Each structure stands twice: as C-alpha cells, then as structure tokens.
Structure 1
Amino acid sequence: MALPKSASLLSAVALVLLTAPTAAAAPPKATPAEATVTIGADQAAIGTLPADFLGFSYESTHLESGEFDAQGSYPQLLKNLGPGVLRFGGNTVDKDFKTSSPEALAALRRLTDATGWRVIYSENGARFDAAAVTKDVAAVSAALGPALTALACGNEPSSWQSKGYRPAGYGSDDLPADAQRCLDAVRKGAPQVPFAGPDLASTGMLPAYAAWAKGKIGLLDQHYYAISGCRSKDATAAGLLSRERASAAASTIGKLSATAAGLGVPLRLSETNSISCGGIAGVTDGYASALWMADFLLTAAEHGAAGVNIHGGLSGTYLTGALGNAYSPILSDGKRHYTAAPSYYGMLLAHQLGTGKVVPAKISGGGNLAAHAVRNADGTTRVLLENLDGAPATLGVQVGSATRVSVLTMTAPGLDAKTGVTIQGASVAADGSFTPGAPDHADCPGGTCRITLAPYTAVVLGTVTAATPAPAPATPAPTRTATPTPSATPSASRPETPTAAPSPSASTPHPASAHPSTGPELASTGADGTELMALTAGTGLILIGGAVFASQRRRGTHRRA
C-alpha cells in the first residue's frame, strides 16, 4: 500500500494549493489524532537493552554455504548493529545436520573476530548421536573459542512427533530425558560452554522442561513469531502493525521472561520474526517490516527478553523446497554482495537507542501508536515513537528539562516499498557502511515537543541534560537543503553536522569523529559506544525515525524538513 502523497514528508504547516475558480475543490485534510506521551525517565526500569541484544538466526546447514566469513559487505552489516549474536539451528539441524566442516568453522571464526559477534550453535537433537555430538562440540569450541556463547540441542521438539522423529505419544514428559542425554554429550566435549534450550515453538512443553532445567542451563532459548501460519487472516501489514498483535507479543514474552527468571537465567528469543513460513511477499519484505521490527524489538526488551535473533537466510530461499525468503533483514546474491532489506533498517533504528534500562513510556490518546524509552548509562533518555496508522497523529511528548530536539528521519516510498528506505536521506552503502545525514532541529517549549507524525512513521528521541545555550556563532554554520519530493512542502535548511555511523565492532572501538558545533558538545553514543552525533550545549533531544521537524522559533512552530 503506497503512502498518501500528503504523507511524503511531515509538516506542521499547511500546504496551500492555488487553483482556478472552476477547478474541483481539494479534499479536506484529515484531522490528526491527538495523544500525549509521558516518559518515565526517572522511574524504575521495566527491562534492559544490553549491547548484544540484536542478532540473527540461520539454518545450521547454511554454515557450509561459504557466506559466513569475513568477506564482502556482510561483516560491516553486522558491525552496524553492535556486538550481536548469530544463532545456527532451525529445521535443518534436526533434518539432515551432522557436523560442521573445519573450513566452515574457520571461516566463522574469522567473521566473529572481524565483527565482535558471538555464536549460539545447535546440535541435532531429534536424530541424536551422542558420540557425534561430543566430537562436534569439541571441534566447535576449539575453533570459535570465546566467540562461542552457548550450545543447544534440537529445534522445536514439540514438532518431532509430527515430523516422524519420535513415536506417537511423545510429549512434555519425554523432553527432559532427551535434553539430559544431549547435555551429557555436550559436557563431554565442551564442559565450560553454557547450555541453552529448549528452542520450543510454543509453551506447552515449557513447564516440564523448566522443572528439569534448573541449575543445568545458562540460557532459556525460545521461539516466537508475531503471526504463525502463512495463511493466517492477519498476515497483512495492518494485522502485523496492530496493537492487538503487539499486546499478544508482550503477554507471551512476559510469561517466558518469568520462567527464565525462575530459573535464574536470561531469556533469548533465539528464533523470531514477523510471519512464519518465510514471511509473506508484499508484507514482510516491505517498509511495514521496518516499522514492525523497531516496535517489536523494544516490546521484547520491555517484557524481559535479553536478546533476539531474527530468523531467515541470506539466499533467496531459506530452506530447500520451502516458501520464498520474504522476511530476512539481509539478502545475498551469492557473490559476496549483500543487501539491507527494509527490516534491517528497523533493527538499525532500534540500535540508535543505545544500551541501558528500559523505562516506562505511556501514551494517552487515540490512534495506533507505540512508544518505548531507554535510559542510557550516561543519563540520556531516548524514546522510540511510531505512528502505525493510516491517519496522521499529533503527539505532545513530555521530555522533562529538554528544550530542543535534534532530528533524524526514516522514510520510504510506501508501506510496501522494498527499496528506498533511508534514515535522514542516507541508505546502507554498497560496502555495508551506514552514516545517517545531518540532523534537523526543533524546539520543545516548556519541556513538551508537539510533533505531528504522518501515517506509518517512526521517530526516536533522545533527551540530554539541559544546559545553558551557547552563544550564536559569528559565522553561520554551513547548511544543506533537502530535495523536496512532489507534493511536499519546501524543505527547511539543515545544519551540516556530520554523524558517525554506529558501525565499528566492540573489539575495535571507533574514535569519536569531530563535529562542528556552535558550542560545547554533548556526545551521544550507540549500543557499541560509537558516537552517533554531537549535540551542542542546550540541545534537548535526538529524533531518529519517521518524521523530520526543523525549528522555526520566531513563529513558535515546527516546519517539516
């Protein structure tokens, strides 16, 4: 579904069209829904957003594809997201996976060394061979070293009976014995590596597993898809972005988190995505997936997940003979050329929140809106706002002592667009690097930013400690002007304040870039410690996402840029 032309850019200023007296009258503009967003920056945390929160999940047999190596742009695409986690498992681990070749493991080690990412590695649990498992985990542990964060056995054991891996009647009471056999084999080959499980697709077997797992596992792994089944009536963009779907995710993840807490271990959604069965073309491979992704990631963190692994494949199909790969954030042409899909931009947007404690963000008012907030260790608070409705929304965002905002924007040609997604006019480069454009600015008088979001947009705000504004520079800062799109209001000029891409790995800190400013700078950092942008004294917020507002202080309004 294409976005309305009036939503190409956001504006608090009406666009006046002059027509001949005989021309048909223009349709009335939709009245934006009104809502208030209250950020509990000083309240108790409701979750945590760690540095390794983001991750990807791939089929075990894909390890032999040659893709997982420190070559091409793939390593940079990982580094853009901080020091994350790769998980190998999926359906193929139980179907026909045996062991990984020394060449594949050596390549994977080169990749982890280059990126700072770590690995959750799965063994065949359905067609279990104790000797083979012990031998393989010993080789994997030796090859990956500290990059191996956990070992797991099997994939979705609740489906083993239906797939013919177990006899009729196999159920919850049988799972602990299978888990124990695999744990014993793993301990013989890699005694120091944490054990993870149970990688269930649903929660029916979880109580029995949890009763066995106390003191035996180091990580509770669980799968979750927002919509299960490719023929679901909700397998649409509207269904995916609905608040009912978000509430269901919050409820399920909250219950899983409670189980993990009872076991004294973290919860990781080791296999997750929007719609199962490879996704739905036109829904999960378009811009809607970027909006869903950012909201889902923060929902998961709010409700206790310590990390997520977005499932998919780098090639066109993620399983031989399966449905097309319509939901993977990164795709490969098989020639070391990798493309960032729309959902990758949702992950990239979430990464701009940095790390820290998730705090309450309350919405009062109508509309299909989402709000999440993260309090960083340096005292800043960043907020994700999304308008997931087909009508505009005006938000009064209460940001405390902050008085000004700095704005980055995520845009796309339409809700189903597969290309053209940008953040502040910038897209991921051919080499995988990413640097957003210079931010725009707007004022927040009295600590409240009144912001109008066009349909289907997302914004990240980051408050900083208020300071006395620095004196104006003697020479105006250089500016750049955005090129307006058809039917858009003219763009406001933007201060040319280069921002550093949040891309270096944790193992190789990136030196902060020098930023021209009008006064002392307040640095903001991403999840990996990389400087995202420098804010001059008195700057109140960072906005990154789906709306651009440039301050027009003399009139007391905000113009879209």
Structure 2
Amino acid sequence: MLSRTPWLILLLLNIASAQIPTPNPAIPSPAAPPATSSAPPPAGSVQQHLVSFTPRLGRTSAPLGGSWLGLSIEWTHVDDALGTGVGASQRKDIRTGPIIAGLLESLRNSSGGWPVHIRIGGNSATRLWWQGSTLPRNPQSLWMVIPEELAILQQVAVDTFSKFVITVPMLNPDPAYAVEFLTQGILRNIAPENIFAIEIGNEPDHYVKNQRRPPTYAFPEFNAEYTNAYNAITAAIGNGFEYQGPAYAYPWTEEYFVPFIQTQKGTKYVAFHKYGQQGCSVYTNPNAVTPLTLMQDPEPEEYEWLDAIAQTSRAFNKTLVWGEGGSSSCNGTAGVSDTYVSALWTVDMALEMAYRGIQYGSISGAGQTYYAPYAVDESIGRVTARPTFYGMVMVQRILRGANSRVFRAPMDGGWATVGNSTKTWGVLHSDGSASLVIITKEAGAVSIKTANVPPVSCPNGAAAKGFVSRMSVLSSTPLTATTGITVNGQTWDGSLDGRAIGDYVEESIDPKTGIINVPGYSIAVLRVGCDAGMIGVQYTPPVPAPFIPATEPGKPGWTGNGTSAGIPGGAETDANGNVHGPRVGALVGIGIAAAVVLLGGILTVLGIRRRRRATLVDSNSHPHPYARNSAYIGKRGGEMV
C-alpha cells in the first residue's frame, strides 16, 4: 500500500532538494553558479537504496528512434488539436495554432531536434468519409474529412517539421475507399516528404464487436483484406512510402501479431494499441481507474509477452510501434488522465515499452479528451498544456535523441524491490554518456546512492560530471494536481506561445559519491556526462520545397484516376458487411445531386457546411456503456478512442 506522509514533510523534502541552475549552452544561462553535492539527508529520514548502473540480467533494449514519443490524434480533432481552434477548417484558416506549434517545438528540442511524429487515425479513421468521394457511402461512415483539414496538416508540417502517420479506412473491405482517399485527398494536399507512414486500417480485432464485420470474421479474413488493400494502394501511388499496421486494439495482439509480421513483408511499422489497466475493455470500467490504481501500472512483468513479438519484429526487419495509448482509454478518466499522476505514468510506461523493444510511441488525444497532452481551457479560451505533456517532455529529455538503449537498473540487488512504488531505469546514450532514472510513486522520499558508474570519456581527459534533472509538482494534493508541475525547473503554465517558462535547471553532483534525494511523487534523473544542458542538435530539418499539388492528369505530381491502376468500383455495405443491392431511384438521385449543386452557394451562406458535425452524439445513448455521461462526447460529439 502506498504510504501517506503528511504534506508538510513532503513540502520540506521538496525545499531540501531545490534545484539550482547550471549553465546550459542551448538556452540562456541562469545567473546562479553551479551547485555542489548536497549533504545526505539524516539517517532514518527517508528510505535509502543502492542503485547500480549495470543493466539487470545484462539486458538492454535495441537502439531507439530519435523522437520516441509522439501524438495520436483523431481525424475528428484535426481542427482543434492542430489548427487555430474548433472549426478552423470551416473558416478555411489553415494556420497552426501558435501555442500548439510551441508545444511541438518543445518536444522536438527535447530530443535533439528530431521531428515529432503525429498519427492521424483511430476509430474516426475507420469511419471517415472523404468529402470528394464518388463511391457509395457506408452507413457507418459518419465523419467527414474535407480538403481544408488536410491543408491544416500540410501547414503543421511546414510550421513544426512534424511528420504524419496517415490512417486510411478499411470499414469497407473494398480498398477503393482507401485508394480514393489517398489519391484524391491526401496526396493532393500533403507533400509526400511530410508523410512518415501510411497506416492501413485501425483495430481490426474490434470489427466484430463494433458490428463492422460478421460474427465469423477472424484473423485470416483480416489478413487477406489487408493484403488486398496494400496491393491496391501501392499499385495506385507507387513504392515511395512506408506502411504501418495492423493497429491491433489488444485482443489479437498476443496471438496474431507474429503471423501478421511473417506474412506482411511490405509493412515496415507494426503497431499495437495499449492503454493503462486495459482501459475500457469489457473487464474494466475506466471510471474505476483512480490515481492510486494507476500508480500500480505498469506492473513489473506485465509486458513480458511483448518480448517474443519484438524478437520476431527484429528478425523480419520490422519496427515495433506502440501506436496508440494513454492512462485509460474511452477518452480517459476525469481526475486521473488529466492530472499529475498521468505524467508519472507516461514516463514509467514509455520506459517499459522502450525496454520491451518498442521503437516509437504515440500518446492519444489532443483536443476535447481527458487524456489529451494539451487541450482548450474554455475558462480562459486558449490551449493549455496538460500534465501528460510534461511526462512526454521528460521522456524526450531522458532518452536524449537517437540510438539510446534502456535497461532496468538494479536497486538493492533486485528491481522495484519496494513493490511498484519505486522504479529505477537506466539509459545508455549514443554519445557514451549514461542516465539513471528514479521514479517514486508514493508520498515518502527515497535516498539514492549509485554504484558501478560507467567510465564516460570526456574531451581533453576531463572527468565526467553528474547532472540531475527533475520532474515534480508543488501541490497539497500532488497526484490530482493540474498545475504547478515543472521539468528541469520549467513550466508551461500560462505559456502564450507553447514554449517553456523559466530557465532550464540541472543540479551538479559527484556521480560516484553524491546522494540523490528524491521526494515522493517525483522523478529524478542522474546523467553522467561531459556537458550540462539538453542534448545538442542531432537532426536538422531540410528546407522544404514548395508544394504545389497537381490538379490535372499528366501534370507532375498527379496521383488521381489517371494512374494505370485506377480506382476499382465499390459496393456500399451495411453495418454487418453485407453488400447492398442496386439503389432504387438512381435517376432521381442524379437530379437531386444537380439541385444540390445549384443550391450550394445558398447552403454555404447559411453555414450548413460549418455545422456538418453539429448533430452531437447523445452521450447517454452512446453504444459503449462507459461513454455514457461523458462531458466530451455529449459536448463535441468526438469519436471514442
């Protein structure tokens, strides 16, 4: 059980471990001089442990990607998550929100300049409808995607150097819908160099549950559909793109991930989804997730099953991806997903996933969801950073760019020997430096002495130094705090441009003899290296060429119906995947379509297009029982994720 130290003691411990700034070449130097090692706390005042820099059981992760942690955003939230606000695309305002651009810059700079990857997908990708489609519309295709939203994505890439994973629909087994969306929508509005990967489909292991396929639907049928879609897409747009799948929700991950990897040779990024404590599965109500239960997640060996999948991925030259996740699914849990406890969870879960062989991760939600890393605070009318965002920044700063390797650092000869309340991770960096991460998940502080400090080689024979970074919160109710959080002494509270407020802070300590005091509910990182501050620039974005989408067949860049593959015919299906027969009254429909064209101007003036999503989902009648009474679903009609 988590201990309950009185807040006064916790406050005194925070004061005792106050961060003193040291020079950093990447940001303006603070005025105060570097600190030396502080004296150890009095014996018996805190739990004392010995932590070794030696990888436990000799195991480290594979080298990791440059920008390890990115975002996963629903198609239904492109406007408010990346544009200038709710409804931005209807105003044809394709600018990036300045605060959002600053937040993405903060993530990018924390990893040495590597582009932040942003997945646009989720359940809304399954149910999206391309506005310019000429194919029969499926009854479950509820969410309209219009050209202005795609233009927002292109502008975000230009403004922030971000790269996109674009999810295309597989609601209809006919790949014509995915091909049409790519050729007529995506590649006419987004430059190919801004597309990190094309993801085919989303959560096929939930198709039957969501009545998108017949009850007999199983992995063999999905694998055949995926193969068909992949072949049709590559025939239409060529081989210049990477692909991602199968985006399992969880039920198929353990049993059918390896067969997918073995058969889908053209798919480089193999992705699965995982939320804390099983999220809104049939077994767990996300509303039952509390700060204290989230502190127990992830359990030490909970993800051991990923080891075999990671090994198979490497054998087949695949990149294993945590494609979507958060503290709890179904839009998160109020009072948990939007509070400081989610920041602690984000760091611990990210390191667990990296240790298990995952190369990239994506945190769900930006927009009107509880687990969003940032969202609109409607009381002040602007975007604000949520606690989860602080956890993402901390992860990027811990890993410090490309090719780091994560390991479990033994504590007192074991690992997590005080239960799940204290975690100790190690990181080996590409420049030869190393970091030790201590995460305290209880109110009581811990005192850490290090052993087996690696011999880091510095220029001109200089001795390596110890630099301590921290993530903490100043609050009388720390786990449920929404403000007062700092990373390296910096905060995003009240930021008007999405950039950090305050000087970057690191403590100076002798890595071999110093004592690190870690207050409860906080994270401390001891980095043994040569230079203070964040990692230097590892990646410099190329200057983007002007993107002029082709609009006519035969012109450079044209990717429409003029390709040799063309677009196969489609058939409208019902919710169970049954094909509809020919529509009665087709000629009448043509006449109606003509009338709509004539009335288009009037409809635009009346603002009907602006209200294409104005019919909100009644949260009390939502098909998912745990979505009922959700303020977000009832207010914005957002898609469940």
TM-score (norm 1): 0.73
Q: CA deviation at 1:188?
A: 3.0
Structure 2: state its 5+ residue gaps. Answer: 18-41, 84-94, 109-114, 132-144, 456-462, 544-641
1:302 aligns with 2:305: no
Determine the C-alpha separation between the residues in 2 that align with 1:66 and 1:432: 13
Contact 2:55-2:407 at 8 Å conserved across structures: yes
Q: CA deviation at 1:252?
A: 4.1
Determine the C-alpha separation between the residues in 1 that align with 2:370 and 2:300: 21
Residue in structure 2 matched with residue 8 of structure 1 by the alignment: 11
Local SS of the residue matching 2:411 = strand
Q: CA deviation at 1:38?
A: 0.9
User: Structure 1 pair 57/13, CA: closer, same or farther in 2 (3 Å)?
Assistant: closer
39-48 vs 293-302, greater mean Cα deviation = 39-48
Which residue identity lines up with residue 244 of structure 2 in the other structure?
A
Residue in structure 2 matched with residue 86 of structure 1 by the alignment: 118
Residue in structure 2 matched with residue 199 of structure 1 by the alignment: 247
Contact 1:80-1:503 at 8 Å conserved across structures: no
Which residue identity lines up with residue 331 of structure 1 in the other structure?
A
Determine the C-alpha separation between the residues in 1 that align with 2:6 and 2:337: 16
Match of residue 371, structure 2, among 315, 324, 327: 327
Residue in structure 1 matched with residue 181 of structure 2 by the alignment: 136
Contact 1:11-1:452 at 8 Å conserved across structures: no
Determine the C-alpha separation between the residues in 1 that align with 2:542 and 2:395: 21
Q: CA deviation at 1:386?
A: 0.9
Determine the C-alpha separation between the residues in 1 that align with 2:407 and 2:513: 17
Determine the C-alpha separation between the residues in 2 that align with 1:66 and 1:293: 20
Determine the C-alpha separation between the residues in 1 that align with 2:488 and 2:333: 28
Equivalent runs, 1:409-420 vs 2, <5 Å: 409-412=470-473, 413=475, 414-420=478-484
Residue in structure 2 matched with residue 39 of structure 1 by the alignment: 53
Determine the C-alpha separation between the residues in 2 that align with 1:64 and 1:408: 35
Contact 2:409-2:426 at 8 Å conserved across structures: no
Match of residue 225, structure 2, among 159, 172, 178: 178
Local SS of the residue matching 2:366 = coil
Determine the C-alpha separation between the residues in 2 that align with 1:117 and 1:147: 7
Contact 2:338-2:386 at 8 Å conserved across structures: yes
Local SS of the residue matching 1:104 = helix
Q: CA deviation at 1:157?
A: 0.7
Local SS of the residue matching 2:274 = strand
Q: CA deviation at 1:4?
A: 2.0
Q: CA deviation at 1:160?
A: 0.7
Instruction: Show CA shifts across 1:189-214 (max 9, x none).
Output: 3222122110001214324423421x
Equivalent runs, 1:414-433 vs 2, <5 Å: 414-428=478-492, 429-433=495-499
Equivalent runs, 1:366-377 vs 2, <5 Å: 366-367=417-418, 368-377=421-430
Equivalent runs, 1:482-561 vs 2, <5 Å: 506-507=540-541
User: Structure 1 pair 57/359, CA: closer, same or farther in 2 (3 Å)?
Assistant: closer
1:240 aligns with 2:294: yes
Instruction: Show CA shifts across 1:194-246 (max 9, x none).
Output: 22110001214324423421x22111011111212252697222222226625
Q: CA deviation at 1:150?
A: 1.1
Which residue identity lines up with residue 459 of structure 1 in the other structure?
A
Q: CA deviation at 1:336?
A: 8.3
Determine the C-alpha separation between the residues in 2 that align with 1:504 and 1:114: 19
Q: CA deviation at 1:301?
A: 1.3
Residue in structure 1 matched with residue 562 of structure 2 by the alignment: none
Contact 1:392-1:454 at 8 Å conserved across structures: yes
Instruction: Show CA shifts across 1:443-483 (max 9, x none).
Output: 337x14322222111012211159xxxxxxxxxxxxxxxxx
1:378 aligns with 2:431: yes
Residue in structure 2 matched with residue 478 of structure 1 by the alignment: none
Instruction: Show CA shifts across 1:286-329 (max 9, x none).
Output: 111111111111221111111001011312xxxxxxxxx22111
Equivalent runs, 1:16-415 vs 2, <5 Å: 31-40=45-54, 45-63=60-78, 67-68=82-83, 69-82=95-108, 83-98=115-130, 100-138=145-183, 139-142=185-188, 143-191=190-238, 192-202=240-250, 203=253, 204-213=255-264, 215-228=265-278, 229=280, 231=285, 235-242=289-296, 245-248=299-302, 250-315=303-368, 325-333=369-377, 337-353=382-398, 354-355=400-401, 356-365=403-412, 366-367=417-418, 368-398=421-451, 399-400=453-454, 404-412=465-473, 413=475, 414-415=478-479
Determine the C-alpha separation between the residues in 2 that align with 1:253 and 1:416: 31
User: Structure 1 pair 158/359, CA: closer, same or farther in 2 (3 Å)?
Assistant: closer
Q: CA deviation at 1:60?
A: 2.1
Q: CA deviation at 1:94?
A: 1.7
Determine the C-alpha separation between the residues in 2 that align with 1:13 and 1:90: 45
Local SS of the residue matching 1:364 = coil
User: Structure 1 pair 49/383, CA: closer, same or farther in 2 (3 Å)?
Assistant: farther
Give the structure with higher Rg (CA). Answer: 2
Instruction: Show CA shifts across 1:405-450 (max 9, x none).
Output: 33343221111101111224421222101255353534337x1432
Contact 1:434-1:503 at 8 Å conserved across structures: no
Local SS of the residue matching 1:455 = coil
Q: CA deviation at 1:52?
A: 2.4
User: Structure 1 pair 3/242, CA: closer, same or farther in 2 (3 Å)?
Assistant: farther
Determine the C-alpha separation between the residues in 1 that align with 2:158 and 2:5: 42
Q: CA deviation at 1:505?
A: 8.3
Which residue identity lines up with residue 391 of structure 2 in the other structure?
G
Local SS of the residue matching 2:304 = helix
Residue in structure 1 matched with residue 553 of structure 2 by the alignment: none
Contact 1:425-1:436 at 8 Å conserved across structures: yes
Local SS of the residue matching 2:191 = helix
Residue in structure 2 matched with residue 540 of structure 1 by the alignment: none
Which residue identity lines up with residue 343 of structure 1 in the other structure?
T
Q: CA deviation at 1:136?
A: 1.8
User: Structure 1 pair 134/11, CA: closer, same or farther in 2 (3 Å)?
Assistant: closer
Contact 2:249-2:273 at 8 Å conserved across structures: yes
Local SS of the residue matching 1:5 = helix
Determine the C-alpha separation between the residues in 1 that align with 2:233 and 2:520: 51
403-412 vs 419-428, greater mean Cα deviation = 403-412
Q: CA deviation at 1:65?
A: 5.2
Determine the C-alpha separation between the residues in 2 that align with 1:11 and 1:281: 27
Indicate the percent of aligned positions where both proteins have the same amino acid: 22
Which residue identity lines up with residue 241 of structure 1 in the other structure?
M
Determine the C-alpha separation between the residues in 2 that align with 1:33 and 1:66: 43
User: Structure 1 pair 441/55, CA: closer, same or farther in 2 (3 Å)?
Assistant: closer
User: Structure 1 pair 501/29, CA: closer, same or farther in 2 (3 Å)?
Assistant: same
Residue in structure 2 matched with residue 459 of structure 1 by the alignment: 524
User: Structure 1 pair 433/66, CA: closer, same or farther in 2 (3 Å)?
Assistant: closer
Question: Which one has the bigger strand percentage?
Answer: 1
Determine the C-alpha separation between the residues in 1 that align with 2:203 and 2:210: 11
Question: Which one has the bigger helix percentage?
Answer: 2
Instruction: Show CA shifts across 1:107-153 (max 9, x none).
Output: 21111122121111111112344333212212423523211111122
Contact 1:85-1:120 at 8 Å conserved across structures: yes
Q: CA deviation at 1:166?
A: 0.6
Residue in structure 1 matched with residue 38 of structure 2 by the alignment: none
Q: What is the root-mean-square deviation in Å for CA atoms of aligned residues?
A: 3.3
Q: CA deviation at 1:387?
A: 1.2
Match of residue 439, structure 1, among 496, 505, 513: 505
Which residue identity lines up with residue 176 of structure 1 in the other structure?
N
